[in-house]
Structure 1
């Protein structure tokens, strides 16, 4: 039985017996499947052209994918997957995936950050090895704060895919391999940034490291699927009235959106998809039922 299934079983056990002591998984599996199907069937997806964030950008949902709007995505990310509250524009799923799929691969969260115009003059001169070392040290330094706030510590293992900046189309992408305390399988954090006039679109795919080849096969379709609308594009920047971000391409990759907002706020924002996040959410119940630790394979 995989970890996601155990977590979901615990979820339904808790809701079916909310006032009783949960001491076994001996409830009707058919009821579990019915409840699971009910959740997965409760969502309404979109395909084709989707207008994002009140006309800010357009998503042409790639063939083989489906889009979940902002309100439904909040429900998935926070209520079902146990992540901190956020303001997503939406979630992009492969068409055969559902939020509570036992064999989940990945989904892509889409957000917008109005941080200002990102100057890209430095892009060609960046040393990504040096940048990686800096990021590794930053994450290590943030671990005590993560621990204090109830998060697992984490380690940046390295680039799963080194940064690449498409100067012509103003699109940046890279992937990190992260190791979270207590988990045997490392996490893949694949980042895509689409630069615009006043900020950037953030397309963030997270799953375990084994989904890298799956995502790479879809990456170009996803990269080409979203564009800012006229008036919001990078080329529409007006230096007389528009704000310039306090960091460039290197800071965007490294996560140096810190100064006033706080470095730890950014580092703590890492969230993890179903196979890891759901187990973390129900780890207390799992320990009670199985007597195992977080890293146990159940």
Structure 2
């Protein structure tokens, strides 16, 4: 099923995108939109008290409601993704071309055993993932979408067994785009599930994103009682997958659609604001930038 996720995304968009408003609401400026969001600083306890993020001065947090507002109204993504919030860098306007953020979700599918961490051949895994994306492209083209290619690792997967944290990055190319995309992933393993942190940007920002995501890895952790070492073999469920499946996308295929491939959804920010990876003429007719901005009521043409 993992191999048809991209096609499912395209099909879902065709049926779930909000209708363009006949009478667009009065537009607010980018600055007014940002002022409508509540940015929090310092130590953040995520919803459900499951984890904390001890933010340094160069990051700010948006709660789930404001995160959804930025993702849908500000970046033009379809609604419906549930998150624990998101963090954005302080020194970059999230509505600008250089804007990016890290969306936080939680997959409570059981305790992920890391026994396979030392035995994964990431070259072979990458080959399998590329083949899977090629399979996806057959369905994408049938639906009129541009092909997408996994270029390779922007950063090879690395697992910190002491901290139970996994991170990696992929470079992606969409047919017809001028810039390759960067998908940076962090997974923090916990007692009963995995904390998922995803960031999407252009490859031109790889230096900044890689540097900042290392900091995100360091300041994010589960609360006492929810940590990996709190696992109770007598009472707690064990996940049906390991480290390799986390990297390959097996979790996304197993656990559901929107909430599990959010990195792909988040990439629409780049499609709409930058045109980094066009999804074909049909998509642009349906989701033209000006129509999206009118429907959202936010004028992003001149981000400050």
Query: The TM-score by the shorter chain falls in which range?
Result: 0.7 to 0.9
TM-score by length of 2: 0.77
| Partner-residue secondary structure (3-state), 1:138 | helix
Pairing 1:151-190 to 2, within 5 Å after superposition: 152-190=146-184
TM-score by length of 1: 0.78
Using the alignment, how far apart are the partners of 1:275 and 1:209 within structure 2? 12
- Whether 1:88 aligns to 2:83 is yes
Aligned match of 1:67: 61
Unmatched 5+ residue regions in structure 2? 1-19, 292-304
**Highest relative contact order (Cα 8 Å, sep 6+), 1 or 2?**
2
Using the alignment, how far apart are the partners of 1:131 and 1:159 within structure 2? 11
Unmatched 5+ residue regions in structure 1? 1-13, 20-30, 289-298
The answer on whether the counterparts of 2:84 and 2:106 sit within 8 Å (CA) in structure 1 is: yes
Q: How many residues align?
A: 262
Pairing 1:78-227 to 2, within 5 Å after superposition: 78-84=72-78, 85-101=80-96, 103-147=97-141, 152-227=146-221
Using the alignment, how far apart are the partners of 1:264 and 1:74 within structure 2? 13
The answer on whether the counterparts of 2:94 and 2:100 sit within 8 Å (CA) in structure 1 is: no
CA distance 1:207–1:260, shift in 2 (3 Å) = closer
Larger Rg: 1
| Partner-residue secondary structure (3-state), 1:270 | helix
Pairing 1:1-20 to 2, within 5 Å after superposition: 18=24
Using the alignment, how far apart are the partners of 1:217 and 1:181 within structure 2? 28
Using the alignment, how far apart are the partners of 2:249 and 2:212 within structure 1? 25
User: Cα RMSD (Å) of the superposition?
Assistant: 3.0
Give CA deviations for 1:122-142 in whole Å, capped at 9, x if unaligned.
101110000000111111112
> Cα distance, 1:151 vs. partner?
5.5
